[in-house]
Amino acid sequence: MTMNATALIAEDEPLLAAALQAELAHAWPQLQIVATVGHGAAAVQQALALRPQLLFLDIRMPGQSGLEAAAELADEWPEGTPFPVIVFVTAYDQYALQAFEAQAVDYLLKPVLPERLARTVQRVQGLLAQRGNTPDSTAPDTALEHTMNQLRALLAPAAHAPGAEPLRVIQASVGSLIRLIPVDEVVVFEAADKYVRVLTRDAEVLIRTPLKDLLPQLDASVFWQVHRGTVVRADAIHSVHRDEAGKLSLRLRERPEHWPVSRLYAQRFRAM
């Protein structure tokens, strides 16, 4: 099959990016590489600006990982535009590969082998051809929802080790003190630059533990992730509001702020 398409490569090692582009030129001469970027934030920015049909995302990049970039794109992608096919590129990682296989996610191992790339190209071409034969009213939503289901599974925190207890107390440096905050009093964890804001009904502290490291220590039935950088106590949610553009936000019983709900996690909030 020969078909024209556009692609973006996100890879922080220039030699590997050049090698992938060269292999793609052989495997798919009609493919136009519209941008090559070196970190996750640039991948998001350029993908939203150029809207390629295919993304090659390195899993480990400075700043955002390939998975985190894909999650942000899923949230920010414009309505009515087909979501790109995503192929993750990774060094050998047994757990990542098992996760990709379980979710039927396309991936390439570094260094990219021509035979493996040829199979990926064939599959991607088939997916793009299938979209081209699907009515425009359904193709974008179907592609995006499929990708979001995969991303939700890939981004889900690791399960507790057998017998491990959920986190009970947050320890935060406040000046010369270490303040102990029972997790039962926390209503929001919010990522903020290199810190995580820990909010209770009437207080706020900063901790250095990344949100992705906190999540596996929290009871998933008690704390719900509602955005890439926001986790809230489920029983603190008062109501969910939908604006004219269809975006959701939360109001909590014990805090005055409104908290946006990303498209990736909006499926949590459906009327019973």
pLDDT tens digit string along 174-186?
A: 888 999 999 999 9
Which residues lie closer than 8 Å to 179 by C-beta, 6 or more apart?
171, 172, 173, 205
How confident is residue 162, by pLDDT bands cut at 50, 70 and 90? Answer: low
Tell me the C-alpha to C-alpha distance, in Å, between residue 224 and each of 92, 151, 194, 207, 266. Answer: 31, 16, 21, 19, 11
Q: Say how many residues make up the chain.
A: 272
pTM of the model: 0.81
The alpha-helical segments, DSSP class H, found in the chain are 14-27, 40-50, 66-76, 94-102, 114-132, 139-155, 211-214
CA dist 36 → 26, 56, 107, 248, 272 (Å): 18, 10, 18, 33, 45
All CATH 2.40.50.1020 domain ranges of the chain, comma separated, are 169-268
pLDDT of residue 41: 94
pLDDT, mean of residues 165-191: 92
Q: How confident is the model at residue 245 (pLDDT cuts 50, 70, 90)?
A: confident
State yes or no: pLDDT of 62 exceeds 90: no
Structure tokens at 2: 């020969």
Cα–Cα distances in angstroms (integers) from residue 261 to residues 78, 143, 146, 153, in the given order: 16, 20, 19, 17
The vertex-241 CA angle with 238 and 244, nearest 5°, equals: 175
- Whole-number mean pLDDT of the chain? 88
Domain at 169-268: CATH code: 2.40.50.1020
What is the Cα gyration radius of the chain? 21
Average pLDDT score over residue span 31-46: 96
| Topology of domain 5-155, CATH | Rossmann fold (3.40.50)
Quickly count: other Cβ atoms within 10 Å of residue 251's Cβ.
15
Regarding predicted confidence, which is higher, 42 or 161?
Answer: 42
pLDDT band (50, 70, 90) for residue 1: very low
Helix%, strand%, coil% for the chain, nearest 5: 35, 30, 35
Q: What are 75's two structure tokens?
A: 């949230």
CATH 3.40.50.2300 domain range(s) in the chain: 5-155
Q: Is 60 exceeded by the pLDDT of residue 72? A: yes
Amino acid at 117: L
Whether 47 contacts 39, CB under 8 Å: no
Question: In 3-state terms, what secondary structure has residue 61?
Answer: coil
| Amino acid, res. 20 | L
At 224, the amino acid letter reads W
pLDDT for the residue 159: 59
Region of residue 181 (phi > 0: left; psi between -120 and 50: alpha; otherwise: beta): beta
